[in-house]
Structure 1
Amino acid sequence: MPPKTQIKKAVKGKSVVDCLSTEEMSKDQLEEHIVRLREELDREREERSYFQLERDKIQAFWEISKRRLEEQQAELRSRNREREEAEERHRVEITVYKQKLKHVLSEHHDTVSGLKVDAVTSTALLQNQHTQSELGLQRDLHDLQADFREKKLHNGNLNKELELKHQVELMELAINRDKIIRDMEVKYHDKMQSMAEAEAKKRQAEVDGIEDRMKSRVETLIEEHDRALRHADHYYSAVQKKLLLDQKKLKDELAKETKLQARADRKLSAAEREKKRLSEALQEAQQKLPELQKQQHDYKQAKTKIVATKARVKVLEKELRDLSMEHELMLQAFEKVQQQHDELLQKQTEVILDMQQKNGLKQLLLERKLAALTETVEKKEAQLCAALAASNIDQTAGSSAANKLQGMLESKQATIDALQSDLARDRTEYDNLLQTCKEKLKDLDVPLYDFPFRSSELLLAGQTRRRDSPGPAASNQ
């Protein structure tokens, strides 16, 4: 069955195409108009039956929605009670947690204060000990350095003095020894030469005397010569002994000088050993110096670690305060979000109820308009039948009836146009309200798979399908 508006527009278009008014129409044309009006009346009756069915369905859907709403409200009340109980438990847990947190904070504060006191006391003790040890080590180091410098200078002076003295003594001994040796050599060489010359002269004189008295006094000369030879042997032996004694004396003096030189060498070796001992003491002091420097470095590192520990304790205290503030802010934000959630649920419920009330009112208005139109059509049909019955009697009355029919058709067309504009406006408002409701539900994270309302386009498509199918009114006819 085509829509009613299209048929009426076609009728109106035909009257325009034929360029005939109701007064100029013939009887056949009026009968055709009557047939069309009857068909339109049938369609209006079908629409009435369809709207009655839709009204029953909407009423049933309204009751079902009302029951669901009551169930949802009961469930919402139970959920609210559960939420209030959960909030109460949460408040109790928060109170317990705050008390525990205060207890932990107090313990942490006591621990931190104790650690601070211990750290300060230990730091002060360590600092005093390190300061005293550092001062003592510095004093010892200065004393050792001063002793080392003094001993080094003293040893240097002693070494120089001993070396100079030893060199002087060696030079003097060498000079004296050379001088004595030269003097002794010269002395004994002169003595030997003089003695040799004297002995040679004496022997020559004796030889000359012996030669002079050889002949006369051979035996006497031989005896004298023998005595002289023995005397010369004794003399030479005495001279030899004297030379040996002088040589022995020189050897003794040389041994004494050697002993003096050995004593000087021993003194020099003792000085060198003392120098070596002082060098070893200096090396030991230099070896101890890195260890002392390491102890000083360890003390500085310990001091730096203590400062870093204090800074870390301050940072941890600041982080704890920040976390406490953040926890309180999160609790406030949670309460605010929970309040917004409750407000949105309440607004959603109010919007759904308001929309259902508006739809119910619009349905009642449409039913009333439909009833009024049906009554008007029935009255007009009765008037038209009366006019047709009287048309055979009075032509003038027929023309007036045709005029009335034309006016009725125009008024009906105007009513239909007004109803269509109202329907379009209602569709727009309904779609806007439905879209707003869906957006609110999406914002509240409510699933839309069980959303009971459909768009106006789907509703009108369903109505068109129902019109095309044979309705109960058509089957009755």
Structure 2
Amino acid sequence: MGKKGGKKKQAEPEVEIDPDLKELTIPNVRDRIDALQYRLSKAAKDRNYMQLEKDMVNRFYEITKSEVKQIDAELLNMDRKMEILERDFRVHIKVHEQKVQNLEYEHKEAKHQVHDTGENDVQKERDMHSEQLLKMNKEKLDLKREIRETQLENEGQVKMLIQGFAKRLQNLRDTFDQNHQQLQAQYEEQVEQLKVDLELRRKVEIHEIEERKNQHINELFSNHQEAFDEIKAYYNDITHDNLQLIKSLKDEIYEMKEKEKTNKKKMDLLRQENRDLTKPLEDKLADQRDLEEELKTYTKDKMALKNLKAHYKRLEEQISEAKQEYRACEDKYRKMEKERDDLYKRFRKAVQEIQRKAELGKNVVLEKKLEALSAQFEEKQAQLSEVLSNARLDPTIVANVTKKLEQVLGAKNRQIKDLQYQVHQATKQYNDTIRVYESKLQALGVEQEEIGFEAIQTATSLTPARLVTKAGVGGPAALWRVLRLPEPGALEVLGDFTFYSFMEPSYAAQLMVSYTEVDPSSTRLADGQVVPTSGGRFQDAGQVYFNHDTVLDVNRSFSFKLADVYCVAPIRNKNCGEPCGEDFWAVGKNCCSENGTHFECGDVGSKHAKSGLRLMDNTDVPFYRLAVVQAAGKHKMVSQHPIFFHWLEDPVAELHGWQRKGFRRFAIAMAAAFAISAAALAAALHTMHIAL
């Protein structure tokens, strides 16, 4: 008989358990399981995150690929349309050539027919002409004979007609003379009447023009009344303060005089008492010495009081000047703060757009770094497990040591990553800044060999850096807020000062209009009328090149002092008659005396200086306007729309000089910033290395 059970089932292989796990207690095993589950869930989350990023990249890739296909299809359709148009054009050309050939053949045939017909007609005309010539010769002889006969008859008639015509001519002359005298008298009356009418019309038109002129003058007065009232109020305040000061000084003088009178009375009484006293001579002398000592003390106290009052007056003047400077600085600060906020909004939008575009490339790099770090982590974990198994330590101690070691390594790894990121970021920002700096200097004519800076070798891309500035502004000012370093506030202030002092005025002047051959005093209109040149026509002027007769009238210069001395001098045509405009002014700060003489601003000493560069610093414009008002009052000038310029020989060279100064300061600040950043990063890396 065969076996009943058949073949036995094959035994299942035993699961190999790590010896370290066998030695662990149940709580330790549970802790180990929880830690592994936490790591598993974290790895799953990271994988899901990476998968989402990968799907997003693939979706963007598919969308871009479909757009490329659509564009290729549109290009193919355009090529087909071009081929169809080219084929139709060739057909039209062939039809046109055939029409031209037909027209040429028809023209040739018509030309032959016309030539044959013309020959026949010419021959017929010749025959007819010869016959007519014979007939006309015969008729000519007959006519000559008749003419001789009629000539004799007409001579008598002509004599009779000449006599009759002479009589009629005399009668006509008499009649003409009478009519001429009547017409002359009539037209003289009409001319006199026309003179009266035209004179009346001229007076009416002159009256209308005067009314329009008066209306325009009233409008100008009303438009400028507000500015006049402000200046009037300003000077009224100054006058009021001066009057108050004079009044207080008069009161003090009156008090001092009263005290002096009182003291004189006291002295008289004392002298009278001294004469009237009957005390011994020694007592009188002692009293006299005491009174003299009191008089000396009083004089000293009086001088001290006078000095204190003078010191108090100077302090009040300094306080008033400080208040005015504070108000001006506060207005300037509000304006600059508003411009900073606007520029920061624009720059923030640009940074967000660049971050969105750069995020796609960043995900691929992070995924590769994650794979490399995972491999390193597994290797270190295996090494740690081998060390702990060979040491045969208590599992709880092993778990605690493992946990602490993981925390320390995690913190150090994060610190290393942050420092490496900062190094790459600083290197990237330095290279980007070097490229922008080189392009700007080459555009200004500076050769690359003269720059003296070289880019650092790095693995970063050539796309713009994300964090060139944290609190910077957009546009050209973003280049001047340099790196985010240990002292970002000082560097930002230095960058803003460099940009707003040198770069922004040059950019603004280049964006404004450049005028040439400008007469600063008078302008000839289209109807030939000469009027004063108005500054209102040149409010958008950045660079103005005046004509050859333009001079800087330093003899009529003036100044306005408020801490600094604001100097002005009119720009005018030396050959100008009347009327002359006074709206163009050369200005400068602290380049003339306090009374306005010795004007030495700009290229005033150059004979070739015939141009002006617009003043771009609006903070000084009110003080220059006050100087113009004072100059107009002293020299009896009228300046309705004053425009302020730097008097220069070559404005373009001056603009390039501003830009070169700005780039030099930018290069110095950039080198200092990078040196500080590199030193800080090197110190941090050295400290981390010592800690490890």
For Structure 1 versus Structure 2, the TM-score category normalised by the shorter chain is: under 0.3
Structure showing greater Rg: 1
After TM superposition, the score normalised by the length of structure 2 is: 0.20
- Structure with bigger helix share is 1
| Bigger RCO (CA 8 Å, 6+ sep) | 1
- Structure with bigger strand share is 2
